Amino acid sequence: MSKFEALAGNEAVATAMRQINPDVVAAYPITPQTSTVQKFADFVADGLVDTEFVTVESEHSAMSACVGASAAGARVMTATSANGLALMWEIVYIAASNRCPIVMSLVNRALSAPINIHCDHSDVMGIRDSGWIIIFSEDGQEAYDNLIQAVRIAEHPDVLLPVAVCQDGFITSHGMERVEIYDDEDVKAFVGTYEPKWPLLDIEHPKTYGPLDFYDYYYEHKRQQVEAMENAQQVVLDVAAEFKEKFGREYGLFEKYRLDDAEVAVVVLNSTAGTAKVVVDQLRDEGLKVGLLKPRLFRPFPAQELAQALSHLKAVAVMDRSISFGAMGNAGPLYLELAAALATHGVHIPIADYVYGLGGRDILPHEIEQVYRDALQIAATGRVEQMVTYLSVRE
């Protein structure tokens, strides 16, 4: 039987880790994900998991040990944030390239400098081209559910790629919410056991991992990573379908909220989607046809499906919690990618970008409301007056 508990997002994630019972966890304390690792350390100390817990001396070594353990044939997890992820970056790329199905809880927060610690998405956007599957979560429940599904996605023989499951630093990682925790045995049955195909620890059949690989094969290996990414999208859907059957909660490539009959929509990641839903309801009460699209799967980017889902709209407003400095219009990564997706798939509707919430700056309902009203104006005129707006910033 499942039960409802009052848990912070980090505690929900730590609970998922206990139920998944990975063979190895290597992690380094970096706020705000630290409470996940602390909670998990309690599970280790109390003998509730079989995990070998490696308390490494840096984030770089955390991911390095994860790669070693995953190659060895273990089911491996870690957790990080912000500068920790930035320090890991070299090995983040290697983990994907070595096809290590590591699962990482990534609590999104701002990169230095200036040092900040609060929520934005600059950390995860720095690894968006590293070969990891990236999944976003609105709240603790989704972070918990996504982490459980991530194990199955990562280890699927057609994928074998690492997965990062994101949630918003402090906003959901430390915000207590009602979370449905499934029965331990049901989660255990759902994730199954990991059967590595080429474990380094198969002593009788020695393997060489990470050889020098020049211009005669490197390119083909990169091409194979593309194939794995292509396969991942269907696997994400298949795992979600199985998850729904077992646990009743529905997940897809993205979530649509009052979108089907909407004329304008906001596209936004993670916790702000929750606030936006409230705004949608308020504006709907006024008779305005507004909706929301909340991407769940960011890598691989389901471009065609997103374009299809937004094709009936008169205007789209993207909200980005990071900046792609020097990119077109100094816009955010979500906008850039979505604008390209719409154009590529023949959906020619006005699309504007609203950067918000950097360094944990609060995003309030009335600000989101303003974005909707802007979008309605764009829909009315058919023109985007300003491609990128930096919401609520002192100029």
Q: Does 45 contact another protein by CB under 8 A?
A: no
- Residue choice 217, 244, 278, 382 for contact with another protein (CB under 8 A): 217
Give min distance, CB of 299 to another protein, in A: 22
Instruction: Report d(CA 74, CA 282) in Å as an integer.
Output: 49
Q: Does 29 contact another protein by CB under 8 A?
A: no
**Options 32-40, 194-202, 336-344, 362-370: segment touching another protein (CB under 8 A):** 194-202
- Residue choice 57, 185, 260, 261 for contact with another protein (CB under 8 A): 57
Instruction: Report d(CA 31, CA 78) in Å as an integer.
Output: 14
Identify the three-state secondary structure at position 255.
Answer: strand
Angle at 329 between CA 326 and CA 333, to 5 degrees: 70
Q: Does 1 contact another protein by CB under 8 A?
A: no
- Residue choice 208, 286, 325, 348 for contact with another protein (CB under 8 A): 208
Residue 69 or 341 having the CB closest to another protein: 69
8 Å CB contact between 133 and 165? no
How many other C-beta atoms can be found within 10 angstroms of the C-beta atom of residue 29? 15
Q: Does 60 contact another protein by CB under 8 A?
A: yes
- Residue choice 8, 14, 24, 280 for contact with another protein (CB under 8 A): 24
248 CB contacts (<8 Å, ≥6 apart)?
A: none
From 353, 306, 295, select the one nearest 327 (Cα to Cα): 353
Residue 13 or 24 having the CB closest to another protein: 24
Q: Could you give the angle at which helices 184-191 and 9-20 cross, rounded to 10 degrees?
A: 70
Instruction: Report d(CA 227, CA 392) in Å as an integer.
Output: 41
Q: With contacts defined by CB under 8 A, how many residues of the chain interact with another protein?
A: 44
Residue 85 or 323 having the CB closest to another protein: 85
Residue 28 or 170 having the CB closest to another protein: 28
Read off the amino acid at residue 102: I
93 CB contacts (<8 Å, ≥6 apart)?
A: 127, 130, 131
Q: Does 61 contact another protein by CB under 8 A?
A: yes
8 Å CB contact between 59 and 27? no
Q: Does 323 contact another protein by CB under 8 A?
A: no
Measure CA of the first residue to CA of the last residue in the chain; give whole Å.
53
Instruction: Report d(CA 317, CA 264) in Å as an integer.
Output: 8
Instruction: Report d(CA 9, CA 175) in Å as an integer.
Output: 6
Give min distance, CB of 213 to another protein, in A: 4
From 106, 95, 38, select the one nearest 69 (Cα to Cα): 95
Distance of CA 214 to the CA centre of its chain: 32
Restricting to residues 67-106, name those near another protein by CB under 8 A: 67-74, 76, 90-91, 94, 98
Give min distance, CB of 43 to another protein, in A: 14
Residue 214 or 325 having the CB closest to another protein: 214
HSE-CB for 40 with a 13 A CA cutoff: 33
Q: Could you give the string, one character per residue 121-160, with x where binding to another protein holds by CB under 8 A and - elsewhere?
A: ----------------------------------------
Give min distance, CB of 92 to another protein, in A: 11
Q: Does 206 contact another protein by CB under 8 A?
A: yes
Restricting to residues 246-265, name those near another protein by CB under 8 A: none
Residue 24 or 384 having the CB closest to another protein: 24
Q: Does 108 contact another protein by CB under 8 A?
A: no
Q: Which residues bind another protein (CB under 8 A)?
A: 23-24, 26, 50-52, 54-58, 60-62, 64-74, 76, 90-91, 94, 98, 200-203, 206-214, 217
